[in-house]
A = this chain, B = another copy of it.
């Protein structure tokens, strides 16, 4: 799956994360699972501000098909991190979201993640084609064709 590999390139979307006290485990590190909550924050913000305000508000919602995450370095409670998000690929009914967590205290990518999602209609209870308008919005934001 070529599109699951994170290549170099630009992330235009960045969201600072508020680390919570109980995100940290008994080794003093942010628990690996917490990154997925952080990625969710970036994902929500990206999907609603870039794809469409309507996404997840009405009939169409994203359904996660798979997740692939690589962990490079631990994060501590006192560290500051941002989540960067972009769409790297759009198929007919599915798209790939690439994200990474950057420790801005140490200027270090600590984790990267690819998520394959399908566009799902709650009404039809089935996956459907991504609206052209969404595709166009992403192209404009990411400044490349999809």
Residues of A whose CB lies within 8 Å of any CB of B are 17-18, 20-22, 24-28, 31-34, 36-37, 40-41, 44, 61, 63-71, 77
The answer to whether A71 touches B61 (Cβ under 8 A) is no
The answer to whether B64 touches A32 (Cβ under 8 A) is yes
Stoichiometry (number of copies): 4
The answer to whether A24 touches B21 (Cβ under 8 A) is no
State the Cβ distance, A64 to closest chain B Cβ, in Å. Answer: 5
Complex CA–CA separation, A41 to B31 (angstroms)? 13
Question: Which residues of chain B have C-beta atoms less than 8 A from A25's C-beta?
Answer: 21-22, 24-26
The residue that A44 contacts in the complex, of B21, B41, B70, with Cβ under 8 A, is B21
18 extra interface residue pairs, beta carbon distance < 8 Å, beyond A32-B64, A33-B37, A63-B71: A18-B18, A21-B41, A22-B25, A22-B40, A24-B26, A25-B25, A26-B26, A26-B28, A36-B36, A64-B71, A65-B70, A65-B71, A66-B68, A66-B71, A67-B67, A67-B69, A67-B71, A68-B68
